[in-house]
């Protein structure tokens, strides 16, 4: 099953909402530091409400630590970026994919993009809107991957 990776997330409610989505879908969630908040942050917990016991959470202190972990498990790293090379709806997902999302303010860093096998974008109609909310983007990407792989049944 695809896994969600948040690289340097900054806004606790976004991470809490993503954790709730991951809990509901049984998806592993990886948080790659440095984080813009403490895991015990009340806003993070409030956004996840009582779903935290159902989150398969992994914390990685740095991108290098995540990279080592990922190499042990295998699979492709797919970076979601407004400057991605492929439309996510036209991409064929695999069950061992890792869906990487960057910080709300800067997206994926060049270093994070360098570990990605490919980059994907979510098309938007209005060119004046530069990006979607992080939790919305994660849900869009994750549910498309799950739809393709038959996990929505």
Model pLDDT for residues 50-109, shown as the tens digit of each residue? 787 899 999 999 999 999 999 999 999 999 999 999 999 999 999 999 999 999 999 999
Please check if 140 is assigned to a binding site. Answer: no
pLDDT grade for 47, boundaries at 50, 70 and 90: low
Q: Report the C-alpha gap between 31 and 6 in whole angstroms.
A: 5
Cβ atoms of residues 25 and 53 within 8 Å? no
| CATH domain 3-148 topology | Alpha/beta knot (3.40.1280)
What pLDDT, on a 0 to 100 scale, did the predictor assign at position 49? 59
Could you state, in order of their start, the residue ranges of all structural domains in the chain? 3-148
pTM for the predicted model, two decimal places: 0.94
Please check if 18 is assigned to a binding site. Answer: no
Lowest mean pLDDT among 35-39, 67-71, 137-141: 35-39
Tell how far CA 11 is from the center of its chain.
14
pLDDT grade for 45, boundaries at 50, 70 and 90: low
Please check if 122 is assigned to a binding site. Answer: yes
Mean pLDDT of 1-21: 93
């Amino acid at each position: 099953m695809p896994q969600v990776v948040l690289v340097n997330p900054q806004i606790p409610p976004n991470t809490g909402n993503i954790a709730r989505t991951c809990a509901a879908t049984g998806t592993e969630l990886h948080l790659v530091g440095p984080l813009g908040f403490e895991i015990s942050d009340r806003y993070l917990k409030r956004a996840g409400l009582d779903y935290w016991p159902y989150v398969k959470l992994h914390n990685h202190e740095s991108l290098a630590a995540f990279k080592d972990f990922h190499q042990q498990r295998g699979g492709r790293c797919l970076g979601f970026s407004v400057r991605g090379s492929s439309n996510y709806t036209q991409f064929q997902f695999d069950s061992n994919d890792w869906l990487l999302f960057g910080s709300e303010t800067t997206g994926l860093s060049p270093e994070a993009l360098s570990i990605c096998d490919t980059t994907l974008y979510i098309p938007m109609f209005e060119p004046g809107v530069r990006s979607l909310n992080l939790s919305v983007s994660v849900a869009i990407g994750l549910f498309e991957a799950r739809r393709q792989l038959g996990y929505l049944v």
